[in-house]
Amino acid sequence: MQVGIDEIGFYTPNKYVDMVDLANARNEDPNKYLEGIGQSQMSVADQTQDAVSMGINATLGYLDHVDLNQVGLLILGTESGVDQSKSGSLFIKSALKLPAAVRTFEIKEACFGVTAGLMLARDYVRLHPHHSAIVIGSDIARYGLNSGGEVTQGAGSISLLIKAEPRILAINNGHSAYSADINDFWRPNNSATALVDGKYSKAVYLDFFERTFADYQRIKKWSPAQFEAIVYHLPFTKMGFKANNLAMAGQPAEVEHHLANNFTASAWFNRQVGNIYTASLYLSLLSLLEKADLAPGATIGLFSYGSGAMGEFYSGQLVSGYQQKLRPIADEQMLMRRQKLSIPQYETIFNEALKQPIDNVELASDEAAGYWYFAGTKNEVRQYHQK
Ligand code: COA
């Protein structure tokens, strides 16, 4: 029996900043952002979108196709949690009307959270083949105005349905993991924005990639030529570009050619959405599937990295007919519908979103009809409404 990804849902908030505008406002050469960092735009969440509402919205994209009574597991991977105790997944479970028998919780290990959830879900479905699992990654990357990491912010969510006999990507047996207790990126409890040692984090990311990729090839007795494409956690697209260069080094021209072209396809959405932490790798997978032309059966490598730090490499095989399970027009429209913010507008929204909402004051959202949003707190309890 094969187990893997059967549905992919995507949501990003309805506002963005253009990187040329941001570069001009920060007295930087726009080419540093566009080419050096590899980002063109970044989505911006106002105070009415958080990890919970974005996770609901991402799942709505495919919810009509799911037998809710068969969902036995719901996992939220996030590093933008809304509560220190209660799992954000319980608000999501309620909005999606999942059965009371669902097992649900939140996972944290920086940007590795969704991969941790996906591996748990895979093993759960192997034991309970008539059940499915929903794994959601949902995050807002905030480093702060005028900070070094500002250009690598973003907001959005990816939701995955994990099932037996999946119709998009069957996950292969085997993986290679590597962990170390280091301090490249973290967010203390008293800080709404992340702390990062940017240059160190880039070096560690590449080190973890080299280790896990080499180990995976040793375990599987494969070479880079086995992979039609490799997708990466993309905190900014240049990061994955560098890792992909390591993967391609010394390979024949045709291997280099398809790995390079498919990397460009896999970075398309991330280049416009920005960093969405836990979900970035899976946004890149969606981008690859919708923007590249891949044959069924193609092997795709996936490199997951979460600061702190945890790395894992694994792979999957594309399932015949996978294109029918994608929604490329709706996903492109998700980007096209966004309103472009001026830098002063972005700064106001950013500062507003950092504040604690005033209790018992209902927040209004400018999202389109059907989307969910955070409506503030009522007697300190978070409220989620649908437009
Ligand atoms: N045109 C083209 N490229 C330019 C340029 C220009 N005018 N000016 C600079 N660059 C290039 C630099 O050469 C560099 O490329 P390299 O990485 O290949 O060396 C790149 O742009 C970035 O320049 P740098 O000076 O390193 O930028 P920075 O000090 O502003 O820091 C980050 C960039 C990414 C380190 C910073 O934004 C950050 O800390 N982000 C968060 C990091 C993160 O997400 N870490 C988590 C990893 S999982």
Which segments in the chain show pLDDT lower than 70?
none
Q: How far apart are CA 266 and CA 118, in angstroms?
A: 20
Ligand 1 proximity of 133 Cβ (cutoff 6 Å) = no
**Same domain for 290 and 190:** yes
Rounded Cα–Cα distance for residues 297 and 170 (Å): 9
pLDDT of residue 43: 98
Ligand 1 atom with the shortest distance to the CA of 242: 18
Give 33's DSSP letter.
I
CATH number at residue 368: 3.40.47.10
Specify the ligand 1 atom closest to the Cα of 233: 48
Q: Which residue has the tokens 């609901």?
A: 56
Same domain, 204 and 271: yes
**Ligand 1 centre from 202 Cα, in Å?**
9
352 lines ligand 1 (CB under 6 A): no
Residue nearest to atom 31 of ligand 1 (CA): 148
Ligand 1 center–CA 184 separation, angstroms: 15
Q: Are residues 62 and 161 in the same domain?
A: yes
Residue 172's contacts (CB-CB under 8 Å, 6 or more residues apart) are 299, 314, 315, 316, 317
Task: Kindly report, residue by residue over 118-155, the tens digit of the pLDDT.
Answer: 999 999 999 999 999 999 999 999 999 999 999 999 99
Final residue before a domain boundary, out of 321, 342, 374? 321
Owner of token pair 């792979």: 315
**Residue 23 Cα, ligand 1 centroid: separation in angstroms?**
13
Domain boundary among 270, 298, 321: 321
Domain termination residue (choose one: 321, 353, 375)? 321
Q: Give the Cα separation of 75 and 379 in Å (integer).
A: 27
The verdict on 371 and 291 lying in the same domain is no
Give the total number of structural domains in the chain: 2
Whether residue 110 sits in one domain with residue 82? yes
Q: With a 6 A CB cut-off, is 203 part of the ligand 1 pocket?
A: no
pLDDT at res. 68: 96
Residue carrying the six token digits 């830098």: 343
203 contact partners, CB below 8 Å, separation of at least 6: none
Residues 226 and 244 in one domain: yes
Q: Structural domain of residue 112, as residue ranges? A: 3-169+326-386
- Is 111 designated active site? yes
One domain for residues 154 and 176: no
Mutation to probe ligand 1, out of 37, 111, 142 (largest number of atoms < 8 A from CB): 37
Q: Which residues contact 269 (CB under 8 A, 6 or more apart)?
A: 10, 283, 284, 286, 287, 290, 291, 331, 335
Kindly state whether residues 155 and 101 are assigned to the same domain.
yes
Q: Yes or no: say if 229 and 300 are a contact pair by the CB < 8 Å rule.
A: yes
CB burial string 212-251: b at 16+ within 10 A, e below:
bbeebbeebeeebeebbbbbbbbbbbbbbbebbeebbeee
Note whether 49 and 155 are within 8 A (CB).
yes
Q: What is the pLDDT, as a whole number, of residue 66?
A: 96
CA-closest candidate to residue 149, choices 108, 193, 210: 193
Residues 21 and 117 in one domain: yes
DSSP state of 32: I
User: Which residue's CA lies nearest to atom 19 of ligand 1?
Assistant: 36
Instruction: Assess contact for 278 and 290: CB atoms under 8 A.
Output: no
Close Cβ partners of 271 (under 8 Å, ≥ 6 residues apart): 38, 39, 40, 41, 237
- Residue 182 sits in the same domain as residue 287: yes
Q: What is the pLDDT of residue 22?
A: 98
For residue 141, the ligand 1 atom closest to its alpha carbon is 44
pLDDT value at residue 323: 97
User: Within 13 Å, how many C-alpha atoms sit on residue 5's CB side?
Assistant: 30
In the residue annotation, 79 being an active-site residue is answered as: yes
> Do 288 and 308 fall within a single domain?
yes
SS3 label, residue 370? coil
Output the pLDDT for position 387.
96
Same structural domain, 181 and 260: yes
- Give me the pLDDT at residue 267, please: 98
Q: Is 175 a catalytic residue?
A: no
From CA 217, how far away is CA 214, in angstroms rounded?
Answer: 5
